[in-house]
Amino acid sequence: MTITVPTSLPRPKTKTSSGTMSLAFLTSDTAITVLSVISIIGVWYLGSWALSAKVLPAPHIVAGVLIEEMQKGQIWIDMAITLGRICAAFLIAMTVSAVLGFTMGLSHVAGVFFRVWVVCFITIPALVIMLTCYMVIGLNDRAAILGAAIPIIPILTINIRESVKGIDLRLLGMAKAFRASRQQQILGVVAPQIAPILLASARFGLGLVWKMILFAELLGRGDGIGYRIEFYYQMFNMTEVFAHALSFVIVMLFIEVVILGTIEKRIFRWRTQ
């Protein structure tokens, strides 16, 4: 009698439990993000309940006023004006910071020379720089943009300088030993090391520029989101203040998540390969 022994035992069928799927969803990035937004709204509601509605209106009231302002159309004009100033100030700040940061990181003499400049401009209050720009240039967009860009330049310069100084020269020497071209050395060795800090500096600088532009509009401009916030603050209409602030928070979140997030995924897609 011949007995056939199976080479492999059949595995018991396992059913994916709903609990496991629920746990996987709860730990996903989307669920955590939604939970974070809900927590912010919850804290906001708690604050509006603890304080007067005139001081801190509830989120649904602010959202209703924001929708009304969007239907009127004026808020779109102010938003476009403020966004244009932000883009201009951000480009100036990032360009100057990148040039200074690379120069100070690659040259010891330049690092020592510009270090005094960086320290001086970091210690000068942004309000003084803003008022000086308005007094020298005048109450116009050029002064507002420069007044918003100048206080950010030394901060971003320090970040970029430290990134350049942190480049691993051994990898660069290895690339030279393998006779890599200058383009291959820059794209394959230098760029991957400085790209994370450049992107982080861009995000940090964009957040600072947005705050500085609002400050500049509050001090010396007659249009833009910052001007509207200051106007409604003088009227003690905190609902309109929060509505206009919320409008640009949504815009900045879109820029951060959609635009910068997409750029980050494309630049660092090699990390998942």
Q: What is the pLDDT of residues 65-108, one digit of tens each?
A: 999 988 988 889 988 999 999 999 999 999 999 899 888 888 88
Q: Which residues of 26-64 are buried (b: 16+ CB within 10 A; e: fewer)?
A: eeeeeeeeeeeeeeeeeebeeebeeeeeeebbbbeebee
Tens digits of per-residue pLDDT, 3-48? 554 554 555 555 555 555 555 555 666 788 788 888 988 898 888 8
Q: What does DSSP assign to residue 269? A: G
- Asked whether 134 and 78 are in contact (CB, 8 A), the reply is no
Residues 106 and 62 occupy one common structural domain: no
For residues 168 and 150, what is the distance between their CA atoms, to the nearest angstrom?
Answer: 31
Same domain, 156 and 89: yes
- The identity of residue 24, as a single letter, is A
Q: Are residues 113 and 52 in the same domain?
A: no
114-170 pLDDT, tens digit each:
888 988 888 988 889 999 999 999 888 899 999 999 999 998 998 888 877 777 667
Whether 138 and 56 map to the same domain: the answer is no
CB neighbours (10 Å) of residue 175? Answer: 18
pLDDT per position as a tens digit, 233-270: 888 888 899 999 898 888 888 887 778 777 777 776 65
Q: What is the pLDDT of residue 132?
A: 92
- 146/52 same-domain check: no
Phi-psi region of 268 (alpha: psi -120 to 50; beta: other; left: phi over 0): alpha
83 occurs within a structural domain: yes
Pair (152, 259) in one structural domain: yes
Does 57 share its domain with 144? no
The verdict on 181 and 222 lying in the same domain is yes
| DSSP 3-state of 132 | helix
- Say how many C-beta atoms besides its own lie within 10 A of residue 174's C-beta: 13
Number of domain units in the chain: 2
Confidence (pTM): 0.76
In a domain, 18, yes or no: no
Same domain, 211 and 259: yes
What does residue 95 show for φ and ψ, rounded to 5 degrees?
-65, -50
Domain hosting residue 63, numbered range: 31-68
Rounded to an integer, the average pLDDT of 179-197 is 71
Structure tokens at 116: 């005094």
Do 103 and 175 fall within a single domain? yes
